[in-house]
């Protein structure tokens, strides 16, 4: 299928995005926003007017940043893992474990009077990243050293975290929901997502490590031939996925100020959406940022529409992003996964 | 060029399939058992560790020699988990071990509790969960065998359940309110569930076949869509009058699948398990002994070879996903007709659990029954752990994840086996495939886990 937008030229952006597919995603995202603004300005009394009034408000930006943080950061992590050749479907689990750990550590520090307020939250943030890193490291060992099926092991990571976080919360706090530790501002989410995206993009495209990482996923034998250990690079990719997803999970929980562990926990499938987001962005960090922001803004928008009193059931509006994903996957374009992703690599003697 | 010799390719593929089947036989059972043992062992230490940090007035268990006290007794937890799932037949933790009163009633030499009957509510819950997981497990397994990862069984179950409830409620007035009418309604309801789930499964199948859309993503998306759309439909259109929750009207009593021996309060019906068993055998025969089933398996293992030997890969993909969805949909029908008696918003995660069941079963229909039974026991036991001990029943969720993690790494058990048993039959471990060494490793690991947990 040809995307009619692929012919559109964007002078500055094209230099950063050598990738036609990512450009499509970006053009669609910002194009629809611009169109909405235009119609809203022309017909302020219409639905479009209401919509643009809802979209271009401070509250909307804050909500979008909060929702986008775990999705985009987990997606960045997923890119590192999959580019190196390990499909990490356990991002959801990494988000859950970091969300819980960040709140737990922040609470314990505050409760013991060691650190309070922002300092406790900051240490909690780091602790969440560390927990996610550890779980990712275990996942890496299972996949790389013990040659486990990556999809199944990733599923196990999700299930373990899904059981462990509410279990530990009940052990420590007597309930699957933790007490509150105070929430952090949305500016932190926005800043960390931006920095994370730039760092990921720079690392992948402009460092030797990034080149090695991509080689481990595309052509491990070539990497082996030049004397770089494929399994070391893959371990690094998986651990980095833990670092990024951990930052996302910590931001998610600290943004709310507590951890909710009932049902599918407060993460509620954001790790799976992250997978969609990086496929959508064709493994490009900037594409993932665009797709993740699009997703988050749709989610924030439907909350806002509820407040404006549109009589559409919220559950129905919630399905829009999911339907969009299916349509885009089917009709706009397809992504190409790294050719050695999912395969084990045996070092040649 | 390969097209000219389909016969030769077919025989090569057959030998490939046979080799695959051999790997997946005894070794898979051993690996599953080893994984269970090992995850119980890890769970033991998790209980111990969390029992150390939790706060309580008196220690539930004191470690011998060290005298260290723990808030949770790990032995009791696992005893209650498995004993509770059966409704507590064994009396080890009761004070009345030698109470003579039960002597005439039960079999004392087997150590059964006085007054215990297999037809109790706790065991009914275990069996009910087992029955439902048989369907969702088969659903995931058949897609897996065709090389498709159907994460969408949950959505297919939701759609099937809704269609079953609506069709049966709508058609109920047309049939006599007796046994015969009930059986006809049940049959129609199951058919409706299969159609609903099948259509919902065919969508990602067609998207995969004709638009090359990754089925993992589309099925995840369709799960969300199914849950939300079904919820809105029931909320806005089909909600029963005066219902405090979002639910459809009740299916009439005579059109529900009721128990023969178990108490009616237990939400379990033997007939439903029988339907599950028949589906299981039918699916096994279909996969192993029909040409369609053969096509399906070949496309799962060697898509290119399948294409060359004349299999229509696109159509096979759609067929496999439709069959998978239909099984998930029937799971939804059984959930409505056996457990709830209506469609209600709080649908359990049976579809996701089906993935774990199928993985544990090695995607073999025959393995689905024991795997479903194991997860049924974990589910039924979790409730009792919550009732009878201070340990959070979420522990069972951790165990579930650990089992899947260990099942995913057969290489791990192979290495343990090599270390424990010096290898006489030095077999080349080519490309990570299992070999006879697996069996030895698996057994050794099972023994370890068994000793530590018993």
CB atoms B408 and A166 under 8 Å: no
Whether residue A1 lies inside any domain: the answer is no
Predicted confidence at residue B423, as pLDDT, reads 52
Same domain, B181 and B327: yes
Above 70 in pLDDT, residue A333? no
Predicted confidence at residue B174, as pLDDT, reads 92
CATH of the domain at A143: 1.10.3470
Q: Which domain holds residue A316?
A: 18-35+45-332
Whether residue A3 lies inside any domain: the answer is no
Whether residue B373 lies inside any domain: the answer is no
Of A176, A135, A159, A163, nearest in space to A259 by CA: A176
The verdict on A159 touching B (C-beta cutoff 8 Å) is yes
CB atoms A316 and B53 under 8 Å: no
CB atoms A315 and B207 under 8 Å: no
**How many domains does the structure of chain A reveal?**
1
Q: How far apart are the first and last CA of chain B?
A: 60
Above 80 in pLDDT, residue B386? yes
Whether residue A2 lies inside any domain: the answer is no
Predicted confidence at residue B115, as pLDDT, reads 64
pLDDT bracket for residue B116 (50, 70, 90): low
Residues B350-362 have pLDDT tens digits of: 998 899 899 889 8
Whether residue A55 lies inside any domain: the answer is yes
Whether residue B138 lies inside any domain: the answer is yes
Report the alpha-carbon distance of residue B341 to residue B257 in Å, rounded: 9
Same domain, B350 and B404: no
The count of other CB atoms within 10 Å of the CB of residue B279 is 20
Indicate the DSSP class of residue B153.
H
CB atoms B221 and A316 under 8 Å: no
Report the alpha-carbon distance of residue B14 to residue B362 in Å, rounded: 19
Which residues between 296 and 325 in chain A have a beta carbon less than 8 angstroms from any beta carbon of chain B? 313, 315-316, 318-319, 322-323, 325
Q: Decide if B20 contacts B428 (C-beta within 8 A).
A: no
Q: Decide if B102 contacts B108 (C-beta within 8 A).
A: yes
Share of chain A above pLDDT 70, in %: 82
Residue among B225, B406, B431, B435 with most chain A CBs within 10 A, to mutate: B225
Predicted confidence at residue B1, as pLDDT, reads 39
Q: Which residues, 6+ apart, have CB-to-CB distance to B307 below 8 Å? A: B313
Whether residue A348 lies inside any domain: the answer is no
Report the alpha-carbon distance of residue B147 to residue B20 in Å, rounded: 14
Tokens of B381: 């036991």
Same domain, B320 and B446: no
Distance (Å) from the C-alpha of residue B264 to the closest C-alpha of chain A? 28
Report the alpha-carbon distance of residue A194 to residue A214 in Å, rounded: 22
Indicate the DSSP class of residue B113.
P
Same domain, B315 and B229: yes
Whether residue B24 lies inside any domain: the answer is no
Same domain, B404 and B299: no
Burial class of residue B121, CB neighbours in 10 A (0-12, 13-18, 19+): middle
Residues B413-449 have pLDDT tens digits of: 877 777 776 655 444 444 444 333 333 333 333 333 3
The verdict on A5 touching B (C-beta cutoff 8 Å) is no
> What's the CA dihedral at B252, B253, B255, B258 to 10 degrees?
160
Q: Which residues sit opposite B90 in a β-bridge? A: B112
Least confident of B78-92, B289-303, B361-375: B78-92
Residues A41-79 have pLDDT tens digits of: 677 666 666 666 666 666 778 888 999 999 999 999 999
CA Rg value for chain B: 24
pLDDT bracket for residue B338 (50, 70, 90): very high
Tokens of A275: 């997978």
Residue A212 vs residue B107, higher pLDDT: A212
Decide if the complex's ipTM is over 0.85: no
Q: Decide if A256 contacts A75 (C-beta within 8 A).
A: no
Q: Which residues, 6+ apart, have CB-to-CB distance to A40 below 8 Å? A: A48, A49, A51, A52, A53, A55, A56
Closest residue in A to B404 (Cα–Cα): A156
Residue among A144, A160, A176, A261 with most chain B CBs within 10 A, to mutate: A160
Helix, strand, or coil (residue B61): strand
Q: Which residues, 6+ apart, have CB-to-CB distance to B450 below 8 Å? A: B37
Same domain, B300 and B412: no
Instruction: Give the count of Cβ contacts less than 8 A between chain A and B.
Output: 138
Q: Which residues sit opposite B155 in a β-bridge? A: none
Closest residue in B to A138 (Cα–Cα): B405
Closest residue in A to B50 (Cα–Cα): A171
Q: Decide if B208 contacts A321 (C-beta within 8 A).
A: no
Residues A222-267 have pLDDT tens digits of: 998 998 999 999 999 999 999 999 999 999 999 999 999 888 889 9
Burial class of residue A27, CB neighbours in 10 A (0-12, 13-18, 19+): middle
Whether residue B226 lies inside any domain: the answer is yes
Above 60 in pLDDT, residue B344? yes
CB atoms A162 and B397 under 8 Å: yes
Of A159, A138, A271, A163, nearest in space to B356 by CA: A159
Same domain, B331 and B450: no
Q: b vs e for B436-453, b when ≥16 Cβ sit within 10 Å of the residue's Cβ? A: ebbbbbbbbbbebbeeeb
Same domain, B157 and B302: yes
Of B401, B350, B404, B376, nearest in space to B136 by CA: B350
Predicted confidence at residue B126, as pLDDT, reads 92
CB atoms A276 and B394 under 8 Å: no
Of A178, A156, A176, nearest in space to A166 by CA: A176
Closest residue in B to A166 (Cα–Cα): B394
Report the alpha-carbon distance of residue B116 to residue B124 in Å, rounded: 13
> Could you tell me if residue B138 is left (phi over 0), alpha (psi between -120 and 50 degrees) or otherwise beta?
alpha
The count of other CB atoms within 10 Å of the CB of residue A268 is 17
Segment of A112-121, A171-180, A235-244, B405-414 carrying the highest mean pLDDT: A235-244
**How many domains does the structure of chain B reveal?**
2
Same domain, B240 and B334: yes
Whether residue B284 lies inside any domain: the answer is yes
Predicted confidence at residue B225, as pLDDT, reads 92
Distance (Å) from the C-alpha of residue A327 to the closest C-alpha of chain B? 9
Same domain, B325 and B407: no
Of A241, A195, A233, A242, nearest in space to A215 by CA: A233
Whether residue A8 lies inside any domain: the answer is no
Whether residue B303 lies inside any domain: the answer is yes
Pick from B207, B232, B398: which is nearest to A313 by CB? B232
Same domain, B266 and B139: yes
Give the distance from CA B8 to its chain's centroid: 38
The stretch A161-181 carries a mean pLDDT of 92
Query: Which residues of A fall within a CB distance of 8 Å from B224?
Result: 269, 318-319, 322
Distance (Å) from the C-alpha of residue B228 to the closest C-alpha of chain A? 5
Of A31, A66, A75, nearest in space to A289 by CA: A75
Q: Which domain holds residue B447?
A: 34-60+397-421+437-454
Write the DSSP assignment of B233-283 as a string of letters: HIIIIIPPTT-SSSB-PPPPGGGS---SSS-GGG---HHHHHHHHHHHHHH
The verdict on A266 touching B (C-beta cutoff 8 Å) is no
Share of chain B above pLDDT 70, in %: 80
Residue A227 vs residue A127, higher pLDDT: A127
Distances (CA, A) of A330 to A3, A284, B213: 12, 20, 5
Residues B117-132 have pLDDT tens digits of: 777 888 899 999 999 9
pLDDT bracket for residue B41 (50, 70, 90): very high
Report the alpha-carbon distance of residue B169 to residue B252 in Å, rounded: 7
Q: Decide if B219 contacts B157 (C-beta within 8 A).
A: no
Whether residue A248 lies inside any domain: the answer is yes
Closest residue in A to B48 (Cα–Cα): A171
Report the alpha-carbon distance of residue A231 to residue A216 in Å, rounded: 8
Distance (Å) from the C-alpha of residue A146 to the closest C-alpha of chain B? 5
Distances (CA, A) of B61 to A145, A168, A252, B67: 37, 19, 38, 10
pTM score of the predicted model: 0.82
Report the alpha-carbon distance of residue B358 to residue B148 in Å, rounded: 13
Tokens of A255: 């943004």
Tokens of B137: 């497990």
Closest residue in A to B397 (Cα–Cα): A163
Tokens of A298: 């749709």
Whether residue A6 lies inside any domain: the answer is no
The verdict on A326 touching B (C-beta cutoff 8 Å) is yes
Same domain, B340 and B411: no
Tokens of B133: 């997981």
Query: Which residues of A fall within a CB distance of 8 Å from B408?
Result: 142, 148-149, 152-153, 156
Tokens of A348: 């040649």
Report the alpha-carbon distance of residue B396 to residue B399 in Å, rounded: 5
- In which residue are the tokens 């939300």 written? B228
């Amino acid at each position: 299928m040809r995307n009619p937008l692929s012919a559109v030229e964007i002078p500055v952006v094209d230099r950063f995005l050598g990738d036609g597919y990512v450009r499509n995603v970006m053009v669609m995202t910002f194009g629809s926003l611009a169109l909405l603004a235009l119609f809203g300005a022309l017909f302020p009394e219409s639905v479009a007017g209401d919509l643009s009034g809802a979209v271009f408000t401070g509250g909307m930006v804050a909500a979008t940043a909060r929702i986008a943080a775990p999705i985009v950061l987990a997606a960045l992590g997923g890119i590192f893992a999959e580019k190196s050749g390990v499909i990490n479907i356990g991002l959801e689990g990494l988000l859950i474990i970091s969300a819980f750990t960040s709140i737990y550590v922040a609470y314990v520090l505050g409760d013991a009077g060691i650190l309070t307020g922002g300092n406790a939250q900051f240490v909690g943030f780091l602790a969440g990243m560390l927990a996610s890193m550890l779980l990712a490291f275990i996942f890496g060992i299972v996949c790389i050293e013990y040659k486990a099926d990556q999809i199944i092991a990733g599923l196990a990571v999700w299930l373990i975290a899904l059981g462990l976080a509410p279990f530990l919360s009940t052990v420590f706090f007597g309930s699957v929901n933790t007490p509150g530790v105070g929430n952090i501002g949305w500016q932190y989410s926005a800043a960390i997502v931006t920095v994370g995206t730039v760092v990921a993009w720079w690392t992948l495209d402009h460092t030797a490590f990034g080149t090695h990482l991509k080689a481990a996923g595309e052509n491990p034998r070539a990497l082996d031939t030049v004397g770089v250990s494929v399994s070391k690079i893959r371990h690094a990719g998986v651990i980095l996925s833990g670092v990024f997803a951990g930052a996302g999970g910590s931001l998610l929980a600290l943004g709310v100020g507590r951890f909710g562990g009932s049902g599918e926990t407060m993460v509620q499938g954001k790790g799976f959406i992250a997978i969609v987001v990086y496929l959508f962005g064709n493994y490009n960090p900037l594409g993932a940022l665009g797709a993740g922001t699009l997703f988050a803004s749709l989610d924030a928008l439907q909350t806002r529409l509820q407040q404006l009193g549109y009589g559409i059931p919220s559950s129905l509006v919630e399905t829009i992003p999911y339907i969009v994903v299916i349509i885009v996957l089917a009709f706009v374009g397809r992504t190409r996964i790294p050719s050695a992703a999912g395969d084990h690599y045996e070092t040649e003697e | 060029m390969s097209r000219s010799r389909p016969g030769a390719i077919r025989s090569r593929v057959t030998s490939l399939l046979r080799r695959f089947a051999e790997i997946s036989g005894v070794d898979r059972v051993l690996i599953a058992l080893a994984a269970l043992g090992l995850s119980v062992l890890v769970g033991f230490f998790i209980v111990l560790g969390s029992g150390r940090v939790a706060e309580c007035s008196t220690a539930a268990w004191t470690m011998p020699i060290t005298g260290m006290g723990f808030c949770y007794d790990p032995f009791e937890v696992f005893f209650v988990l498995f004993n509770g799932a059966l409704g507590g037949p064994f009396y080890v933790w009761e004070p009345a071990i030698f109470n003579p009163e039960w002597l005439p009633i039960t079999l004392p030499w087997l150590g059964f509790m006085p007054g215990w009957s297999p037809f109790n509510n706790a065991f009914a819950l275990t069996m009910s969960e087992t029955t439902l997981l048989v369907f969702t497990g088969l659903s995931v397994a058949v897609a897996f065998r065709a090389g498709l990862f159907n994460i969408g069984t949950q959505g297919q179950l939701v759609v099937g359940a809704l269609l079953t409830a609506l069709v049966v409620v709508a058609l109920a007035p047309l049939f006599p309110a007796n046994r015969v009418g009930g059986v006809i309604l049940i049959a129609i309801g199951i058919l409706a569930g299969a159609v609903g789930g099948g259509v919902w499964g065919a969508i990602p199948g067609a998207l995969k076949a004709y638009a090359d859309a990754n089925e993992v993503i589309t099925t995840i998306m369709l799960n969300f869509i199914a849950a939300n759309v079904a919820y809105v439909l029931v909320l806005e259109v089909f909600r029963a009058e005066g219902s405090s929750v979002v639910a459809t009207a009740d299916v009439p009593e005579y059109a529900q699948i009721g128990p023969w021996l178990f108490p009616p309060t237990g939400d379990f019906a033997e007939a439903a398990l029988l339907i599950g068993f028949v589906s299981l055998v039918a699916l096994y025969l279909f996969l192993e002994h029909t040409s369609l089933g053969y096509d399906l398996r070949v496309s799962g293992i060697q898509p290119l070879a399948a294409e060359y030997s004349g299999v229509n890969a696109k159509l096979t993909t759609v067929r496999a996903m439709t069959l998978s969805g239909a099984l998930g949909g029937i799971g939804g029908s059984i959930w409505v007709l056996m457990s709830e008696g209506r469609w209600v918003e709080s649908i359990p995660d049976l579809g996701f659990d089906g993935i774990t069941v199928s993985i544990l079963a090695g995607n073999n229909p025959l393995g689905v029954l024991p795997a479903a039974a194991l997860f049924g026991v974990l589910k039924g036991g979790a409730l009792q752990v919550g009732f009878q001990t201070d340990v959070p029943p979420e522990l069972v969720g951790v165990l579930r994840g650990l089992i899947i993690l260990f099942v995913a790494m057969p290489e791990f058990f192979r290495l343990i086996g090599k270390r424990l048993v010096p290898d006489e039959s030095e077999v080349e471990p080519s490309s990570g495939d299992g070999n006879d060494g697996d069996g030895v490793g698996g057994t050794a690991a099972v023994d370890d886990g068994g000793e530590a947990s018993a």
